[in-house]
């Protein structure tokens, strides 16, 4: 690849053969609307489930935090980067989630990578739901252990793979709410199996935290299970950025001692930790926003029942519509944009081949009018597209 990058003509030809993706520079993303090239769209692609990324109280916290603690943490946690604010946020998170320890990370991707890279040694084995997020699958694949990917949400597939393996230690990976499918993992049977075979279970709850369960404590609380390790992110419902890993004292101490991501990376700014602490306060109190989101999900499901399109049986805020064909999904997404609706098309390899989709994400800011408009446009554009396809 480096060789190709040095021959600039080659790289363009090489990239064009792949699925070319572009980053779009947005002007603003506020109150459910996203502004791009001076045009506003209703944002149906945001992970800001409760609209907290523009919450005045949390913005104020960020400013106050910056005034009080400065903006950079100026060192890793072992040098001078770890402050009283980090410590109190970790304690509060651990108590909220019912774990001995919470360890802060700069992002969810880093948190997952750190845990997997630190815990997995040669002759260990990892069983991951095959639809798991890249931040789980990539470090698992690159680890010295052996990775098995079991069929999505199929406990029997997990069991079969486990009983035909012979590794020393076992780690099972899954998500609370699957990011591209929106469905929930059957956490209770997975946890029971994990206990039975003395495995560790890590649940990545990036999309469940803040949204599901009492006080927004997420998928595990919602399903009444306590896995060995939970990863939560502050980049979605919390509306900020950063992540934490929740676990018992032994696992936490091991991670703190041996994680290269903690040792050799600058800690989260204290002002950010302070902001997350304030966001946590509002997350705990936000049953009203969670019920608004739930009402929107119910409303969307009711209204979309008659669509000629395939929904994914998801009950969460993530509502993918499976289109199948890459080109058709991309075209539909572009046409929806012309109608003022921002919905990204998700194509392979992010999702399995022939399963390109429109990934609709609902939030608490959407109104019933927004949803009506979305359904109407989906119906209209899809029918028009189908008619054209038949003509060709
Ligand atoms: C978004 C996401 C992550 C990564 O979190 P960041 O804080 O954005 O790095 C990890 N896991 C899942 C399932 C996600 O959806």
Is residue 9 assigned to a domain?
A: no
Measuring from atom 1 of ligand 1, which residue has the nearest CA? 206
Domain total for the chain?
A: 2
107 lines ligand 1 (CB under 6 A): yes
Can you tell me the distance from the alpha carbon of 101 to that of 226, in angstroms, rounded to the nearest whole number? 14
- The pLDDT, as a whole number, for residue 7 is 63
In a shared domain, residues 82 and 207 = yes
In a shared domain, residues 258 and 136 = yes
Q: What residues have CB less than 8 Å from 58, skipping those under 6 apart?
A: 52, 239, 240, 275, 278, 279, 282
In a shared domain, residues 302 and 263 = no
In a shared domain, residues 176 and 232 = yes
Measuring from atom 6 of ligand 1, which residue has the nearest CA? 108
Q: Which of 17, 16, 320, 368 is nearest to 178 (CA)?
A: 320
How many angstroms does the Cα of residue 156 sit away from the middle of ligand 1? 27
Q: Is the pLDDT score of 391 beyond 80?
A: no
Residues 124-172: tens digit of each pLDDT: 999 999 999 999 999 999 999 999 999 999 999 999 999 999 999 999 9
In a shared domain, residues 143 and 195 = yes
In a shared domain, residues 36 and 124 = no
Residues 188-222: tens digit of each pLDDT: 999 999 999 999 999 999 999 999 999 999 999 99
Span 335-339, average pLDDT? 96
- Cross-strand partners of 102: 246
In a shared domain, residues 183 and 140 = yes
Q: Which of 287, 343, 288 is nearest to 320 (CA)?
A: 343
Is residue 6 assigned to a domain?
A: no
In a shared domain, residues 273 and 306 = no
In a shared domain, residues 277 and 169 = yes
Query: What range defines the domain where residue 331 resides?
Result: 23-50+287-391
Q: Which of 132, 128, 103 is nearest to 118 (CA)?
A: 103
In a shared domain, residues 117 and 251 = yes
pTM of structure:
0.94
Higher model confidence: residue 91 or residue 8? Answer: 91
CATH number at residue 298: 3.90.1150.10
């Amino acid at each position: 690849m480096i060789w190709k990058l040095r021959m600039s003509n080659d790289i363009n030809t090489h990239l064009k053969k792949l699925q070319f993706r572009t980053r779009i520079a947005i002007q603003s993303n506020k109150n459910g609307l996203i502004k791009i090239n001076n045009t506003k769209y209703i944002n149906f692609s945001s992970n800001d489930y409760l609209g907290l990324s523009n919450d005045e109280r949390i913005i104020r916290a960020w400013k106050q935090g910056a005034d009080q603690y400065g903006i950079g943490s100026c060192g890793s946690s072992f040098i001078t980067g770890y402050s009283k604010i980090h410590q109190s946020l970790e304690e509060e998170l651990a108590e909220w989630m019912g774990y001995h320890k919470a360890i802060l990370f700069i992002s969810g991707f880093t948190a997952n990578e750190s845990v997997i890279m630190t815990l997995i040694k040669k002759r260990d084995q990892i069983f991951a739901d095959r639809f798991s997020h890249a931040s789980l699958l990539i470090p698992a694949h690159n680890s010295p252990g052996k990775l098995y990917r079991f069929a999505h949400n199929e406990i029997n597939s997990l069991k079969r793979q486990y009983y035909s393996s012979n590794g020393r230690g076992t780690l099972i990976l899954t998500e609370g709410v699957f990011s591209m499918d929106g469905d929930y993992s059957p956490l209770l049977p997975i946890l029971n199996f994990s206990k039975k075979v003395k495995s560790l279970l890590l649940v990545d709850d990036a999309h469940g935290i803040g949204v599901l369960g009492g006080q927004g404590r997420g998928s595990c609380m919602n399903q009444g299970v306590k896995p060995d390790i939970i990863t939560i992110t502050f980049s979605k419902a919390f509306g900020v950025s950063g992540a934490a890993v929740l676990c018992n004292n032994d696992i936490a101490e091991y991670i703190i001692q041996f994680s290269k991501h903690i040792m050799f990376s600058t800690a989260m700014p204290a002002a950010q930790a302070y902001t997350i602490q304030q966001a946590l306060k509002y997350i705990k109190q936000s049953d009203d926003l969670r019920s608004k989101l739930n009402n929107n999900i119910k409303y969307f499901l009711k209204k979309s029942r008659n669509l000629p399109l395939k929904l994914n049986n998801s009950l969460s805020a993530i509502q993918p519509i499976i289109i199948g064909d890459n080109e058709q999904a991309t075209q539909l997404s572009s046409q929806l944009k012309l109608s003022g609706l921002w919905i990204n098309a998700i194509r392979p390899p992010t999702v399995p081949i022939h399963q390109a989709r429109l990934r609709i994400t609902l939030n608490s800011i959407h109104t019933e009018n927004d949803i009506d408009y979305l359904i109407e446009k989906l119906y209209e554009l899809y029918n028009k597209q189908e008619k054209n396809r038949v003509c060709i």
